[in-house]
Structure 1
Amino acid sequence: MSANSNLQMSSWPQPLAALELIKPITWFPPMWAFLCGVISSGGALTGNVGLIALGLILAGPIVCGMSQAANDWCDRHVDKINEPHRPIPSGRIPGLWGAWIAIAMSVLALAVSWQLGPWGFGATVFGVLAAWAYSAEPVRLKRSGWWGPGLVALCYEGLPWFTGAAILSAGAPSVQVFGIAALYALGAHGIMTLNDFKALEGDRKLGINSLPVTLGPDRAARLACVVMIVPQIAVIALLFLWGKPAFAVAIFAALIGQVLAMRVLLRDPKARAPWYNGTGVSLYVSGMMIAAFGLRGLEAAL
């Protein structure tokens, strides 16, 4: 009997496979965005260390991890084509364990978020529902190259930023904080489009209409670049308008670096998308933190 057959017959998931299922590498974006929200709120940091730490754990390991488990469970047929080595199609997470892990983590997310007050709980309810709407039938928004990446971008960048700011402010964030968070969430739609390149073959076979499938790699990559650039230009303009020119110039420098990386990306989008995710995207999220520090204390200065 093959090793893979033994895995399929096992009734318990492998511990390392369960960790792989919730993909720790994906936790960084929402945790970073949550921290941007905390910084941008202008709230005291030293007296809220425990609250901030709980929010970071909720945004990354719990909510993002839950969304990854839900996505892998709902995508198990796609992954047989694209990535058969993943925990569920490989049999390292057998039976219904993938679904049970995702459901249990959904409940855990709601329980933990209750400790963060109404804003934290409300944002988490939205995030949990969005994760299942993205992956699960009959909604399965990931079938759309527009709604799917847009929802993920919102939940990875905009929602955690808003939540971090709301928790530290103990109320609704300022219009300025909300606007910058929304702009970076909009720009992240382009990042999510580039992320879809890795599943191009399986998406074509199974009718998932990602932008790389419907537009082709070249046009999808060009569109993604425009979607990333335009919101950042708006952020730069707003920071100048609000009297924060040093922060605007720093973000502009990061944007120039992204444009140079985009020129490399567009030579061969399918092959270079993973490279861009490690270079251009790093500059994008660096700009987010620069903007967060620019927003800190802004409301009092206006």
Structure 2
Amino acid sequence: MAQIPSHVPAASYPSAAAVVQLLKPITWFPPMWAYACGAIASGAGLGDRWLPVALGVLLAGPLLCGTSQAVNDWFDRHVDAINEPNRVIPSGRMPGQWGLAVAIIMSILSMLVAALLGPLVFAAASIGLALAWGYSAPPFRFKQNGWIGNGVVGLSYETLPWITAATAALGSTPSSRTLLVALFYGLGAHGILTLNDFKSIKGDRQMGVRTLPVLHGAGNAARIACLIMTASQIGVIIVLAEANLITGAILVTAVLALQILCMISFLRDPEGKAVWYSAIGVGLYVSGMMAAAVSMGSQLVPSVAAG
């Protein structure tokens, strides 16, 4: 059990600031961005559906993503007590069983909000919540393997919010094109998540966490990450081109070309350039996501309005 440092006063319940720290607002951006892309790609104007879309943003970011952060910190509390003792649980700012309690309360709130948005959104949120718990909690603990864990997070943070947003905006099941593009971007996020693993190769190896850099070495892991990100975006480009969304296809191709130029430098020094490439390459990646979403939504506006 994590020990509370002597300089931290004992408390029976956490402060509001401690709860916010546990939920890590900075991590909410990816699913909220994906949600925005899904809403835009649907082609549905806000109109009288602004409330479902707003609730969906709340669901994707603070609720589901916040829940995943609370769950992860609770089940990693013993490791954090060694590696990152200043985190909110091992430091004692989240005393007793409150970390687990917050995770459970946030899970319940997530499901309540999802239920308000209809059965399709509720089903998607249920899958996301199950993956959030399975990622960190035994017996599954998907994060122990980089292939599985990164895939779970990619689908949870990109694919599911995109699909959920399109469903909430339309009030019905989104098109197969939307589902396919959302899937491609979720798969590509697998490579993005691998970039985060380069900074902790030594510690992960010692703790038995089998990230891709640990499993395959830094060089091979970098090649795998770049290949996954490139292939997923090529898939998006093909979908857009087949739908005659030429402008969108060109824009995604352009940002992919810029990423490839950066990848060349990254592959020469994976450990040294992982943070650099993550900052530049991921920014280009999510820019391409929005370009694809705007292109898809623009094509659908007339048909949605007519409906």
TM bin, normalised by shorter chain, reads: over 0.9
- Residues matched between the structures, number: 299
Aligned position for 2:109: 108
Q: Equivalent residues in 2 for 1:85-104 (5 A)? A: 85-104=86-105
Aligned position for 1:295: 296
Aligned position for 2:78: 77
State the secondary structure of the residue aligned to 1:296.
Answer: helix
Q: For the Cα contact (< 8 Å) 1:7–1:94, is it kept in 2?
A: no
The residue identity in structure 2 corresponding to 1:273 is A
Aligned position for 1:55: 56
Aligned position for 1:205: 206
State the secondary structure of the residue aligned to 1:90.
Answer: coil
Output the CA distance in 2 between the equivalents of 1:286 and 1:218.
26
1:186-236: CA deviation from partner (whole Å, max 9, x where unpaired): 111101111222333332122111111111222111110110011111211
Output the CA distance in 2 between the equivalents of 1:46 and 1:169.
11
State the secondary structure of the residue aligned to 2:164.
Answer: helix
The residue identity in structure 2 corresponding to 1:129 is A
Cα distance change on mapping 1:198 and 1:46 into 2, 3 Å:
farther
Between 131-140 and 258-267, report the one with greater CA deviation: 258-267
TM-score by length of 1: 0.93
1:231-277: CA deviation from partner (whole Å, max 9, x where unpaired): 11121122122111111111111112211222332233223322222
Output the CA distance in 2 between the equivalents of 1:8 and 1:262.
48
Q: Equivalent residues in 2 for 1:31-70 (5 A)? A: 31-70=32-71
Aligned position for 2:265: 264
Output the CA distance in 1 between the equivalents of 2:84 and 2:273.
19
State the secondary structure of the residue aligned to 2:174.
Answer: coil
The residue identity in structure 1 corresponding to 2:73 is D
Does residue 122 of the first structure (1) align with residue 120 of the second (2)?
A: no
State the secondary structure of the residue aligned to 2:244.
Answer: coil
Q: Equivalent residues in 2 for 1:170-189 (5 A)? A: 170-189=171-190
State the secondary structure of the residue aligned to 2:272.
Answer: helix
Aligned position for 1:22: 23
Q: Equivalent residues in 2 for 1:161-240 (5 A)? A: 161-240=162-241
Cα distance change on mapping 1:198 and 1:69 into 2, 3 Å:
farther
Output the CA distance in 1 between the equivalents of 2:148 and 2:117.
29
- Segments of 5+ residues of structure 2 without an aligned counterpart are none
Aligned position for 1:144: 145
The residue identity in structure 2 corresponding to 1:119 is L
